[in-house]
Structure 1
Amino acid sequence: MSGAPFHAVMADGPEGGFARWLQATDGVQIRVGVWPKDAAKGTVFLLPGRTEYIEKYGRAAKDLARRGYATLTVDFRGQGLADRALDDPLVGHVTDFDEYQLDMDAVIAFARAEALPEPWFMIAHSMGGCIGLRCLMGNHPFKAVAFSAPMWGILISAWMRPVAVAMARASRWFSFDHRIVPGSREATYVMAVPFAGNTLTTDPEMWDYMRQQAMACPEMMLAGPSLGWLQAALAECNALAVRPSPDIATLTALGLQERIVDIGPIHARMAQWPKGTLSLYPGAEHEVMMERPDTRARFFDEACALFDLHL
């Protein structure tokens, strides 16, 4: 482990934040970020979504610190300042979602080596919700978990799904899985579209927070996924769908204006999760943690109330 770049001003997180380089067992370098807290109740592992990076969650770490928790988050492989698999750094790519579990192993080992305050909890957003669910289905150190718009299904229109699935599979067979998914944006989302009509947040201040970060550190940004990533994501969502939910207390937050992930698998899983609660947020888009102040406060209040029960 060695020191890694950390943009504290851009993150606008609690005092004392830092970043470290980690190496997964397959040699891929990732970056982990920590916002410590004196006398913390415990530590929240915040798993980001596709395209995201440590500094985007500075304000979320502040919200968790106000409620007594330290925060650890990560640049998963292929995004932020972690190693990227393709010559075109803007195209997000993995061959198999198992690769993300190697990142999780490295992060958990780091947390143990650093003796981060226990107990440990998880907040997992979007793609991080897919990675987090897989982690929870094995041996894990977490006492409770909160999901935000988890990617348990890929939102593709019914008429387009067979085409997308066939193209993703063919890309692997014929070795063009490194190419960007047709129709995907070739620039990072917050710089490619206006605030009006965006699918991330209804809060102009948080939209500006994300845009300012994109302008300050374009090297951390990511555009559309590769066909290989899409194939891997579809395969992982299908594999997870047939597995029972883990025996852990769970809160899942979902905005009623969600337009990025498929909400069907979320409703289906939460309806059958014995220790699970689905919390719906009227007026919220995909990123509940980047929404208006009352929405953000509600999410962190609910998540931390769940965590407080498992101290």
Structure 2
Amino acid sequence: MSQTVDTAPSPSPSSAPPRTSLPDGGVERFHPMPDGARLRTMEWPDGEGVPVLFMGGKRDFIERHAEALSRIRERERPLLALDWRDQGLSSRASVPTAHLFDRMETDLSHLMNYAAERIGAPFDALAHSMGAHMLLRVLAFDPAAAKLVRRAVLTGPMMGIGSGGAGRAGRILMRTAAEVMTGLGFGEHRPPGQPAYGPVYRSEERRQRLTGDTARFAESFFHIDSNPRLAAGGATWGWLRAAVRSMRKLRRPGVLERIDTPLLVFLGSEERVVDPDEVRAASTRLPRARLLDIEDGHHELFLDTDEVQQLLWQEIWSFLD
């Protein structure tokens, strides 16, 4: 295990809205990777319950899911959360985009072994969107790390990227464009609808894609306003190509079928970010997965309305407890 660098606990600012405040007692650490990148985690190692590893999706950072982390800590469960490389306070621009998903798989295997040392194993995993995709990769391709996971909850897993209502033709066009644009040397450019971080990310159109809760959506920017280094923009053509190839790798015959971990998969009825058809198809191939549809749920189920969250967490704890 590589050396970790400890910092002082990182409490939320005193002016933070209550739902955006991290649980008390968290310890922030930065983990040097072999390639020089530093990955940020926050851990709450005390507690008597089954430990939990929490991972968000693309553009996420630990603080954005403070409400979910607080719910976990209320159950007296040890907890570790992470910032993926190239987002949050982990190293940015740390690896060529073409290799990003392979490197993130290695990162997650590393941090899962670290989590086993710090919070105990086997642990439960809660993974959202891209984080769910990366967890499935580790469960499929790293048997030793997979044994550390007792059960896993996946919300809006990234098994396919949504087409914005354009259907199968739109998905094919997006995949083709990502290959062509990256091949032509435009991999660091952004496609339409994926701008650099700015005011557009707070638009009502964005809110409707992500959550049915206007207040939680507004609160999700509190920590970025306090620390702009947490912000991240949309996907580049190169990222999209790498993501498509990674999803194709998971969809190969026999890959999902080898995952033996009990899984609870959530899909919101208003999902518009990932491809619901691909989530359903993947769920039928996972031997021990159960798919639950959440009425009125959006992509960001952990930031959705009280009604959605009540059902979400009721099912999560029924599965994990």
TM over 0.5: yes
Q: Which amino acid is the alignment partner of residue 3 of structure 1?
A: D
The CA distance in 2 between the partners of 1:207 and 1:192, in whole Å, is 8
Residue 148, structure 1, aligned to residue 152, structure 2: no
Residue 8, structure 1, aligned to residue 15, structure 2: no
The CA distance in 1 between the partners of 2:42 and 2:206, in whole Å, is 32
Q: Which one of 128, 131, 142 corresponds to residue 128 of structure 1? A: 131
The CA distance in 1 between the partners of 2:133 and 2:39, in whole Å, is 18
Q: Which amino acid is the alignment partner of residue 16 of structure 1?
A: G
Residue 66, structure 1, aligned to residue 74, structure 2: yes
**Which residue does the alignment assign to 2:105?**
101
**Which residue does the alignment assign to 1:254?**
267
- Per-residue Cα deviation, 1:156-175 (whole angstroms, up to 9, x for no partner): 23344344323322344333
The CA distance in 2 between the partners of 1:188 and 1:52, in whole Å, is 15
Q: Which moved more, 1:256-265 or 1:5-14?
A: 5-14
- Per-residue Cα deviation, 1:38-93 (whole angstroms, up to 9, x for no partner): 32x12111111000001112211111122332221111011001111189xxxx95
The CA distance in 1 between the partners of 2:123 and 2:207, in whole Å, is 37
**Which residue does the alignment assign to 2:283?**
270
Q: Which moved more, 1:41-50 or 1:187-196?
A: 187-196
CA contact (8 A) 2:194 2:236 kept: no
Q: Which amino acid is the alignment partner of residue 170 of structure 1?
A: V
1:143 is paired with a residue whose SS is strand
**Which residue does the alignment assign to 1:27?**
36
Q: Which amino acid is the alignment partner of residue 53 of structure 1?
A: F
The CA distance in 2 between the partners of 1:86 and 1:19, in whole Å, is 20
The CA distance in 2 between the partners of 1:280 and 1:148, in whole Å, is 10
After the TM superposition, which residues 48-67 of structure 1 pair with which residues of structure 2 at under 5 Å, given as runs? 48-67=56-75
Shift of 1:197: 5.3
After the TM superposition, which residues 1-311 of structure 1 pair with which residues of structure 2 at under 5 Å, given as runs? 1-4=4-7, 6-9=10-13, 10=16, 11-39=20-48, 41-85=49-93, 93=97, 95-114=99-118, 116-137=119-140, 138-139=142-143, 140=146, 141-156=148-163, 157=166, 158-187=168-197, 191-194=201-204, 198-242=208-252, 243-245=255-257, 246-308=259-321
What is the TM-score with the length of structure 1 in the denominator? Answer: 0.88
CA shift in 2, pair 1:95/1:170, >3 Å: farther
CA shift in 2, pair 1:67/1:77, >3 Å: same
Q: Which moved more, 1:166-175 or 1:138-147?
A: 166-175
Count of residue pairs brought into register by the alignment? 302
- Per-residue Cα deviation, 1:82-105 (whole angstroms, up to 9, x for no partner): 111189xxxx95634111112213
Q: Which moved more, 1:6-15 or 1:236-245?
A: 6-15
Gapped regions of structure 1 (runs ≥ 5): none
2:221 is paired with a residue whose SS is helix
More helix by share: 2
CA shift in 2, pair 1:26/1:102, >3 Å: farther
- Per-residue Cα deviation, 1:202-242 (whole angstroms, up to 9, x for no partner): 11231122022222222111111111110110011111112
- Per-residue Cα deviation, 1:233-259 (whole angstroms, up to 9, x for no partner): 001111111223311111011110111
CA contact (8 A) 2:268 2:299 kept: yes
2:174 is paired with a residue whose SS is helix
Q: Which amino acid is the alignment partner of residue 227 of structure 2?
A: C
- What is the root-mean-square deviation in Å for CA atoms of aligned residues? 2.4
- Per-residue Cα deviation, 1:165-206 (whole angstroms, up to 9, x for no partner): 233223443333122224312225774413785211111231
The CA distance in 2 between the partners of 1:306 and 1:258, in whole Å, is 22
CA contact (8 A) 1:153 1:262 kept: yes
The CA distance in 2 between the partners of 1:284 and 1:189, in whole Å, is 25
RCO greater where, 1 or 2, for CA within 8 Å and sep 6 or more?
1
CA contact (8 A) 1:256 1:281 kept: yes
